[in-house]
Amino acid sequence: MENNMDKEVLLSVRELQQYFKMGKRELKAVDKVSFDVYKGEVFGLVGESGCGKTTTGRSIIRLYDITGGSVYYKGERICAGTRGYKDAIKKARKDFEEQKISKEELEVTIAQNRAEMKAAVKDHKKWSRTKSKNQLTNEIQMIFQDPVSSLDPRMTVREIIAEGLIIRGIKDKKYIDEQVYKILETVGLVKEHATRYPHEFSGGQKQRIGIARAVIMNPKLIIADEPISALDVSIQAQVINLLHELSQEMGLTVLFIAHDLAVVKYFSDRIAVMYYGKIVELGTSDELFAHPFHPYTRSLLSAIPLPDPITEKNRQRIVYNPMLDHDYSAEGPSMREVYPGHYVLCNMEEFEKYQKEYQETAK
């Protein structure tokens, strides 16, 4: 098993919450999600549509103001929410009313959480300032799911790709043109494409333009939000191979968001499986496929089509039903390390069961 203790953590997400108001109701799109992304790795975030994958990516890059939790980049908190601190204060007051804690404990809890909330607001404001925000976008770039809507139809390819350089303050037109032509060739296009508009390109070419716009900034981290889901199957492999080559050549760290586990396995070093706003399993790509523990992960793996027609004919789909597959009436679930580097959302009973399963398969 690879030791992650020696690796540098580039991105750290801690207890991330992203809630949206829907009338009087509140939608928990992302609910207390935590994970680390190591420098130079490809981290896959996978799950079905609506599970919160894209919202997680957009929250990290600050397209949303997060509800709660923190996001750290190179050890600095770039996103901070206040919900967790407010909930902790509310709970402490309730516990005091029910005489579960003393007045002194209540005052300490309130003072501590208010101090932490003040620090969170300060960090949020810091990275909201133009200079800090530009510094952040120089190093973190996003490739969007829909290549059509993510490109301005009134801008030429050159203007789209060069926009980041211009915002950075570069004014040398010759230098900008050289960089644009160079990156176009890197992503499989030619410099003659620079004067054209987005509507003149196919879906695959538009996504290559989106990739070029991201990598021309020479970022340290790229968030790829389902970059192939809107493309034809014949083009998907080309774009995946391009991303793989760029990550190797430029030493990029990639947060790769997708719903296709087969694609994620090919491209990712580690994979986090997300369901209903929570991460239910996290491990290396090979281990997750070899020893899937959570019923939802097994359900996703059973849905992957196989190239052998005989095997495919006999393939049994596993249906995940949380009400039947789990009994959390006595004890709720939490993320537990079944074995080094492999985490599963489970209670103690399930944890012991998964450990036993692993020991039996490892023999």
User: pLDDT-based confidence at 237, cuts 50/70/90?
Assistant: confident
pLDDT at 5: 55
Mean pLDDT of the chain: 90
Contact call for residues 33 and 279 (beta carbons, < 8 A): yes
**Residue 290: how many CB atoms within 10 A of its CB?**
13
Domain range annotation of the chain: 4-132+263-362
- The fraction of the chain above a pLDDT of 90, given in percent, is 67
User: Is residue 161 left, alpha or beta, with left meaning phi > 0 and alpha meaning psi from -120 to 50?
Assistant: alpha
Class of domain 4-132+263-362: alpha beta
pLDDT(112) > 90 = yes
Task: Say whether pLDDT at 1 is over 50.
Answer: no
Tokens coding 342? 């492999």
308-362 pLDDT per residue, tens: 788 778 888 899 999 999 999 999 999 999 999 999 999 999 999 999 998 887 6
pLDDT tens for each residue of 151-198: 999 999 999 999 999 988 888 999 999 999 999 999 999 999 999 999
pLDDT cut 70: percent of the chain above it: 98
pLDDT at 89: 95
Measure the CA angle with vertex 153, ends 132 and 57; round to 5°.
40
The mean pLDDT of 233-246, rounded to a whole number, is 85
Enumerate the β-bridge partners of residue 344: 281, 336
**pLDDT, tens digit (0-9, with 9 covering 90-100), for 33-60:** 999 999 999 999 999 988 999 999 999 9
- Model confidence at 363, pLDDT cuts 50, 70, 90, reads low
pLDDT band at 263; cut points 50, 70, 90: confident
Closest CA to 256 of 245, 241, 242, 267: 267
Q: Which amino acid is at 220?
A: K
The torsion defined by the Cα of 173, 177, 180 and 181, in degrees rounded to 10, comes to -170
Alpha carbon distance 283, 43 (integer Å): 10
Q: CB count, 10 Å around CB of 74?
A: 14
